[in-house]
């Protein structure tokens, strides 16, 4: 596990923002942190980043203790807060260069790395622009570049898509999947549950400062077997499970549709006569599944992603805890 929190507690005055929280995040995965306002998500992220000391419990991030080894943790972690300040008089390039120097990035590589990061977050044309002219969404993208400039092993993001336009949010999803594929561990807090569902391998639900339980993104044959304990859910040998989105296909002939599914190599289940639910890796896989069904003679009436699964789970859990 790249991130481990055991019985972590943090008080503000007499109020416990985080109370005996347990969390395990697999290496090389994208894990979502979901919960209502005031649930303790930001407090948890600050403790994982080594910016806030827990009152009790233990934390390990990339094998390091944020309390005993704060400097090493800062170098291993990329931290993007929900709201952050910028030096308004500095340009985007100068801000990233400053953070690269602070993180001990090799001096001879800094400018190349800065330019690479600006291209990655689509701010290359703003390299010489002062930060004061950036929009809210552009500042979010600059904050993401700032968190990534030193090539961290772990990326902690607090509401990273806030203020971003749809294109930027789509780019963010793609980037986070690429980072996870390269071995970076990503923990992301977001209120945009529909988009979070599309990018994560795992979800940790937090309520009243405690983890409730975790879930794996995507559907399964049992319908709810993806829900697991908060202590962590991993693939074989600790590897992250691939992101799989649930898609629903409806057809005029339910028997033919079911026969096609049984004869295919796709993961899926018959939900009701004339409707099947499929687990598909991405849009390309969905297009291939549709083509295969049509070529098999299935008269498809409707086909699209199943939305709201994560949101429904979250709302149901909150209702149970009232």
In the chain, what are the domains?
3-211 (3.40.50.300), 244-309 (3.30.70.100)
Angle formed at CA 232 by CA 267 and CA 71, multiple of 5 degrees: 130
Q: What string of pLDDT tens digits covers the 322 residues of the chain?
A: 789 999 999 999 999 999 999 999 999 999 999 888 888 999 999 999 999 999 999 999 999 999 999 999 999 999 999 877 778 899 999 999 999 999 999 999 999 999 999 999 999 999 999 999 999 889 999 999 999 999 999 999 999 988 888 888 888 888 999 999 999 999 999 877 767 777 888 888 888 777 655 544 443 333 332 333 333 333 332 233 344 577 889 999 999 999 999 999 898 889 888 899 898 877 888 999 999 999 999 999 889 877 656 666 666 666 555 5
Angle formed at CA 44 by CA 43 and CA 46, multiple of 5 degrees: 65
State the burial class of residue 166 (Cβ atoms within 10 Å of its Cβ: 0-12, 13-18, 19+).
exposed
Element (H, E) at 61: strand 56-61
Burial track 187-219 (b if 16+ CB lie within 10 A, e otherwise): bbbbeebebbbbbbbbbbbbbebbbbebbbbbb
- The pLDDT score that the predictor gives to residue 190 is 83
Alpha carbon distances (Å) from 309 to 22, 39, 130, 160, 203: 24, 21, 41, 21, 12
DSSP 164: -
Q: Where are the beta strands (DSSP E) in 176-216?
A: 185-189, 202-207, 210-216
Cα radius of gyration (the chain): 21
- The pLDDT score that the predictor gives to residue 233 is 34
Q: Beta strand 15-25 with 30-34: parallel, antiparallel or unpaired?
A: unpaired
Q: Judge contact between 199 and 29, C-beta under 8 A.
A: no
Put simply, whether the predicted model's pTM sits higher than 0.85 gets the answer no
Lateral strand order in the sheet of 227-228: 77-80, 154-158, 185-189, 30-34, 202-207, 210-216, 227-228
Q: Beta strand 227-228 with 210-216: parallel, antiparallel or unpaired?
A: antiparallel
Q: Taking the chain, what is the end-to-end CA distance rounded to the nearest angstrom?
A: 32
Nearest CA to 161 out of 175, 181, 180 is that of 175
DSSP output for 205-228: EEETTEEEEEEESS--TTSSTTEE
Q: Beta strand 15-25 with 3-12: parallel, antiparallel or unpaired?
A: antiparallel
């Amino acid at each position: 596990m790249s991130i481990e929190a055991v019985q972590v507690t943090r008080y503000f005055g007499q109020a416990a923002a985080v109370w005996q929280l347990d969390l395990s995040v697999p290496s090389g995965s994208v894990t979502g942190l979901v919960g209502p306002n005031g649930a303790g998500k930001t407090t948890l992220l600050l403790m994982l980043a080594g910016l806030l000391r827990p009152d009790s419990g233990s934390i390990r991030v990339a094998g390091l203790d944020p309390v005993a080894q704060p400097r090493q943790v800062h170098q291993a972690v990329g931290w993007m807060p929900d709201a952050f300040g910028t030096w308004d008089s500095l340009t985007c390039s100068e801000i990233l260069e400053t953070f690269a120097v602070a993180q001990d990035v090799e001096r001879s590589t800094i400018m190349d790395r800065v330019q690479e990061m600006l291209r990655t977050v689509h701010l290359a044309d703003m390299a010489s622009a002062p930060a004061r002219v950036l929009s809210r969404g552009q500042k979010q993208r600059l904050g993401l570049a700032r968190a990534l400039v030193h090539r961290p092993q772990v990326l902690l993001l607090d509401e990273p898509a806030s203020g971003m336009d749809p294109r930027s949010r789509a780019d963010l999803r793609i980037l986070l999947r690429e980072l996870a594929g390269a071995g970076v561990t990503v923990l992301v807090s977001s209120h945009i549950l529909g988009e979070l569902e599309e990018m994560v391998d795992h979800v940790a639900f937090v309520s009243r400062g405690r983890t409730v339980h975790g879930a794996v993104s995507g559907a399964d044959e049992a319908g709810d077997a993806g829900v697991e304990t908060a202590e962590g859910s991993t693939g074989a040998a600790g590897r992250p499970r691939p992101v799989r989105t649930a898609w629903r296909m409806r057809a005029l002939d339910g028997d033919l549709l079911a026969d096609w599914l049984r004869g295919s190599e796709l993961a899926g289940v018959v939900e009701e006569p004339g409707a099947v639910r499929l687990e598909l890796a991405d849009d390309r896989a969905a297009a291939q599944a549709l083509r295969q069904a049509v070529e098999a003679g299935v008269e498809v009436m409707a086909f699209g992603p199943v939305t709201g699964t994560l949101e429904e789970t979250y709302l149901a859990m909150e209702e149970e805890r009232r």
